[in-house]
Amino acid sequence: MEVLQSVNILLQMHPGASVTTVGHSLGAALALLDGVFLRIQLDPTIKISVVGYGMPRVGNEDFANFVDTILPGRVKHINNKKDPIPIVPGMWLGYHHVSGEVHIQNDSGEWITCPGQDNPDPRCIVGTVSSIFSAKFSDHHGPYNGVILKCNS
């Protein structure tokens, strides 16, 4: 609840402000959960958005439908080329992506909007990466608009 209190204080200090949660990989999944939590907890007039890079699937189809209902058009999950992380956990286990995929194309680098949940179009992640065996693990780190999301230790 400490985070919620902090967000409420900041919103009081900045009337009319919006809230955007952002993350990469597991952080993108957490950003989605935080966005859902904040949408439920905050005043419904406050605009909540989620941006995730290389987001794994977070819940089942009911969860995805719920998120699509409470954050309609407010979630963007950006998948890079043949990144394997967005196709796990598998759909065969009952996991489902929420709507809002943007897929960076393998050859051109163009960003394509993929409507719906787990779109099988070959320009979208499900249509591009059928299994982890057809994936390219290095694509998980980007680049996303020229930015590599990787820590070097």
* CA gap 127, 115 in Å, rounded: 13
In the chain, DSSP finds a helix count (H) and a strand count (E) of: 4, 7
Written as six digits, the tokens of 124 are: 């979208």
Decide if 105 contacts 123 (C-beta within 8 A).
yes
Catalytic entry in 24, 96, 97, 140: 140
Catalytic entry in 24, 77, 83, 103: 83
CB-side neighbour CA atoms (13 Å) of 122: 1
Per the rule left: phi > 0, alpha: psi between -120 and 50, beta: everything else, 54 is left
Question: Any bridge partners for residue 96, and if so which?
Answer: 59
Active site residue 140: yes
Active site residue 25: yes
Active site residue 131: no
Catalytic entry in 24, 25, 34, 77: 25
Q: Which residues are catalytic?
A: 25, 83, 140
